[in-house]
Amino acid sequence: MNTIIQKVEKEHPDETVLKQAGEILKSGGLVAFPTETVYGLGGDGLNARSSEKIYAAKGRPSDNPLIIHISDMESLDRIVSYVPEKARKLAEKYWPGPLTMIFQKSEEVPLETTGGLDSVAVRMPSHKTARMLIRYGGGYVAAPSANTSGRPSPTKASHVIEDLNGKVEMILDGGEVGIGLESTIVDFTEEIPVILRPGYINQEMLEEVLGQVRMDKGLLITDTGIRPKAPGMKYRHYAPKAQLTIIEGNTEAVVQEINRRCQDGEAAGLRAGVIGTDETVSAYHAQVVKSIGTRQDEESIARHLFGILREFDEEKVDMIFSESFETPRMGQAIMNRLLKAAGHHIIKV
């Protein structure tokens, strides 16, 4: 398939291009597009065949449900059977934005879109291009992150092109995304709302609106048989080709430990890579040292995480060591992704 790659301006996306993209969706095709979190791979969420195409293009297991993206509140009622009052309050505060909510689905949503579940995940993105695409594309855009299953989520169009060129009808290139981690997912099918995936909107922000909120047990416990409720959270994810190890502790001890491990690796003929910050990169001695951002601005760390994991694949390193990022606001979301990328390989010093 010949993939059309179209640049779009972030603040003023071209109507003609977006209409063309919308027509592709309405006729059952796939369009990758930017959102404020990560790039999405869109198809018509009410069309079972489109959802099947999404799974095929990503190489994603078909029991892993998709998020349906809407552009206004009026669209919600058609796809869900019931919206609790608390969820409406949360929507008022954080939609449009990086928040996904799970409800019981209506008859209109095909089981192909929900991976066989009777619940449906819904998000209203704030990104202009995404919103226009949803409107021109029929109002219900099913979209997982636009990466090959298992690879880091795409934060730039070049990442999408790497994974999906030739497999989708169109890729909209809106430059680099703002947040860089996928949306926070909150499950409203239970009495007390449950966080299934941490994100930019953190537990404290949710509790301010909802009162009590639980964290899914499957997210907290990594070495028992408890499965996360979001099917996608159980898969090995974001994994770079080389083994990634996180070293946690005070900065000085971490730098020392990482340098020691890189030196040992290099003595054994291995190529080592380090993920540090602007504050520490000059202290590392390894073949490839990269800064993920600055500790003065935790959002910079979130924004560059997936991109840096992809860069290390190109560097052909054999081993990667990373600092730990338990930052105040987004630490939970950042560490959730980093731990997955490391297969939960973390060493405390």
The count of chain residues that interact with ligand TXA, using the rule CB under 6 A, is 28
CB of 336 to Mg ion, least distance (A): 13
Which residue, 201 or 319, is less far from ligand TXA as judged by CB? 201
Question: 243 has which bridge partners?
Answer: 319
CB nearest Mg ion: which residue?
145
CB nearest ligand TXA: which residue?
232
Partner whose binding site includes residue 185, from ligand TXA, Mg ion, none (CB under 5 to 8 Å by kind): ligand TXA
The CA–CA distances, whole Å, from 161 to 38, 179, 339 equal 14, 20, 26
Q: What is the C-alpha to C-alpha distance for residues 201 and 19, in angstroms, rounded to an integer?
A: 31
Q: What is the binding site for Mg ion (CB under 5 A)?
A: 145
E-assigned strand segments in the chain: 4-7, 31-33, 40-44, 67-69, 99-104, 119-123, 141-142, 170-173, 184-187, 194-197, 214-215, 243-248, 272-276, 288-291, 319-323, 346-348
121, 177, 286, 292: which one binds ligand TXA (CB under 6 A): 121
24, 168, 230, 288: which one binds ligand TXA (CB under 6 A): 230
Q: Do 3 and 146 meet the contact criterion of CB atoms below 8 Å apart? A: no
4, 83, 117, 270: which one binds ligand TXA (CB under 6 A): 117
18, 38, 168, 213: which one binds ligand TXA (CB under 6 A): 38
- Site for ligand TXA contains 24 (CB under 6 A): no
Dihedral pair phi/psi, residue 63, rounded to 5°: -95, 10
Piece in contact with ligand TXA (CB under 6 A), picked from 17-25, 31-39, 77-85, 165-173: 31-39
Q: What is the C-alpha to C-alpha distance for residues 164 and 142, in angstroms, rounded to an integer?
A: 16
Q: Do 115 and 66 meet the contact criterion of CB atoms below 8 Å apart? A: yes
- Site for ligand TXA contains 134 (CB under 6 A): no
144, 152, 193, 265: which one binds ligand TXA (CB under 6 A): 144
CB of 189 to ligand TXA, least distance (A): 8
Place of tokens 């202290």: 283
Helices (H), 9-79: 15-26, 48-58, 76-79
Angle between helices 85-94 and 203-210 (to 10 degrees): 130
- Site for ligand TXA contains 196 (CB under 6 A): yes
Contact positions vs ligand TXA (CB under 6 A) = 35, 37-38, 40, 64-67, 100, 102, 114, 117, 119-121, 123, 143-145, 182-183, 185, 196, 229-233
